[in-house]
Amino acid sequence: MIKPIMKDPIFLAQKSAEAGPEDAPIAADLLDTLRAHADGCVGMAANMIGSAKRIIAFDNNGQYMMMYNPVIVKCSGPYEAEEGCLSLTGTRKAKRYRSIKVQYQNEQFQTRLKTFTG
């Protein structure tokens, strides 16, 4: 189900809780909402649809990917970018990396490692 975008900065600043298999409906809603905003958004976190759970969905080279409980375990090549967010007005500077390694759980809650380069 497509959910409204959360814009409350106090809610968005809260630490999200670990996600589990019972949170699959939240992940489905997150993916539906991301698809609905595909023209201006490449990734979303569950807090953007009002669920304080550690779930993200994003376009990974034309294919949507879901991560539960992601943690960046290694990063290199820092640079400054400017980007926008559906939850916040305007654009802002953000520190990004040329390469990151992420530990996460897939939709079967198997732990995985993936390196992204940009």
Q: What is the DSSP string of 54-89?
A: SEEEEEETTEEEEEEEEEEEEEEEEEEEEEEETTEE
Q: What is the pLDDT of residue 83?
A: 93
- Length of the chain in residues, anyone? 118
The Cα–Cα gap between 56 and 66 comes to 6
State yes or no: pLDDT of 3 exceeds 90. yes
Show Cβ contacts of residue 115 under 8 Å, excluding neighbours closer than 6 positions: 99, 100, 101, 102
With beta carbons less than 8 A apart as the criterion, state whether 102 and 114 touch.
yes
CATH of domain 9-117: 3.90.45.10
Q: What is the pLDDT of residue 118?
A: 74
**What's the pLDDT tens digit per position in 34-89?**
999 999 999 999 999 999 999 999 999 999 999 999 999 999 999 999 999 999 99
Name the band, by pLDDT with cuts 50, 70 and 90, for residue 111: very high
The average confidence (pLDDT) of the chain is: 96
Domain layout of the chain by residue ranges: 9-117
* Burial of 22 (C-beta count, 10 Å sphere; 0-12/13-18/19+): exposed
Q: What percent of the chain has pLDDT over 90?
A: 98
